[in-house]
Amino acid sequence: MLTVRHLDAHYGKSRALSDISLDLAEGEIVGLLGRNGAGKTTLLRSLVGLVQRQVGSLTLDGVDISGWSVDRLSRAGIVLVPDYRGVIGALTVEQNLQIAERRGSSFSLHDAYVLFPRLKQRRASSGAALSGGEQQMLAIARGMMCGPRVLLLDEPTEGLAPVIIQEIVDALTKLQMEGHRLSIVIVDQNIDVCLNLAGRQYILELGRIVYEGTSAELAADHDIQQRFLGVDHGSGH
Ligand code: ATP
């Protein structure tokens, strides 16, 4: 559904991404892993047009979208939920959701509250009064109100307590199962979150894709985990 071929991105003269190719099928969740500074955020931002990039080809449902503006990509349903979450503190939860609503979106305010009952309880609270977990739920729900085809999630569980992480993982699993024709790319430092949610994983290192495999393959490959993610499984077997 989304295909990226030979994508490069630069910040000034320094190259942040080199020769990135990836595929995302309809309904699929893929994980994007890598150490700090590997280029994960840059890749997500370059897919929504927020970072200048050069691509061999970039297609959505076979249509060339490589020259599309940020607005047009967003209207086509490529939606980024950034790591800073972007909740508007002066608006209520409900207002934050309402301003994101897109005509034609199959995901309603009601759906947002079913997905995250905490948001319903907090519907009249200001964005500024929310906990980190509630802000993240709001950021995901707001992304869904845009009616995305591709949801790009940047560090959705960063800094959150395990019980809240589980709520978010459950909600994302539910979204996928409900089949909103939704595909997700998730960046997360928590490898277990990526392995649980996604069927396939890409690992970035110094702006390049250095590994691509199923979650089962990566889960079993302790060498790769150690080499590119610094995960130490210890030597005792
Ligand atoms: P993290 O997990 O720390 O967010 P990341 O894998 O998302 O890391 P990026 O934030 O995409 O990595 O950064 C990739 C590289 O680009 C790094 O070397 C970073 O210093 C550089 N970089 C990121 N944003 C900018 C910017 N606005 N201007 C210049 N260089 C940048």
Q: Best of 17, 32, 35, 40 to mutate for ligand 1, by most ligand atoms within 8 A of CB?
A: 40
Please report the pLDDT score of residue 234 as a whole number: 75
Q: Please say if the pLDDT value at position 237 is more than 80.
A: no
Residue 181 near residue 1, CB atoms below 8 Å? no
Q: In what order do the strands lie in the sheet with 78-81?
A: 78-81, 150-154, 183-187, 29-33, 200-205, 208-214
Q: Please say if the pLDDT value at position 74 is more than 70.
A: yes
Please report the pLDDT score of residue 106 as a whole number: 83
Residue with tokens 């649980």: 196
Based on the number of CB atoms within 10 Å of its own CB, is 208 exposed (0-12), middle (13-18) or buried (19 or more)?
middle
Q: Please say if the pLDDT value at position 176 is more than 90.
A: no
The percent of the chain in helix, strand and coil, each rounded to the nearest 5, is: 40, 25, 35
- Pair of tokens at residue 62: 């076979």
Q: Is the CB of 46 under 6 A from ligand 1?
A: no
Please report the pLDDT score of residue 162 as a whole number: 95
pLDDT digits (tens, 9 = 90+) for 19-55: 999 999 999 999 999 999 999 999 999 999 999 999 9
| Minimum CA distance residue for ligand 1 atom 1 | 36
For 116-150, give one letter per residue: b (16+ CB within 10 A) or e.
Answer: bebbeebbeebbeebeebbbbbbbbbbbbbbbbbb
CA of 89 to the centre of ligand 1 (A): 26
- pLDDT, averaged across the chain: 94
CA of 173 to the centre of ligand 1 (A): 28
Q: What domains appear along the chain, each with residue ranges and CATH number?
A: 2-235 (3.40.50.300)
Amino acid identity of residue 145, one-letter, is: M
CA of 36 to the centre of ligand 1 (A): 8
**Rounded Cα gap, residues 34 and 21, in angstroms:** 16
pLDDT digits (tens, 9 = 90+) for 113-130: 999 999 999 999 999 999
The pLDDT confidence band at residue 105, using thresholds 50, 70 and 90, is confident
Q: Is the CB of 188 under 6 A from ligand 1?
A: no
Averaged pLDDT, 206-223: 96
Q: Is the CB of 22 under 6 A from ligand 1?
A: no
Q: Is the CB of 200 under 6 A from ligand 1?
A: no
| Minimum CA distance residue for ligand 1 atom 26 | 11
Please report the pLDDT score of residue 235 as a whole number: 58
Whole-structure pTM value: 0.94
| Minimum CA distance residue for ligand 1 atom 25 | 11
Q: Is the CB of 96 under 6 A from ligand 1?
A: no
**Rounded Cα gap, residues 115 and 120, in angstroms:** 10
Averaged pLDDT, 51-74: 94
pLDDT digits (tens, 9 = 90+) for 144-170: 999 999 999 999 999 999 999 999 999
- Pair of tokens at residue 85: 């979450």
pLDDT digits (tens, 9 = 90+) for 220-236: 999 999 999 988 887 54
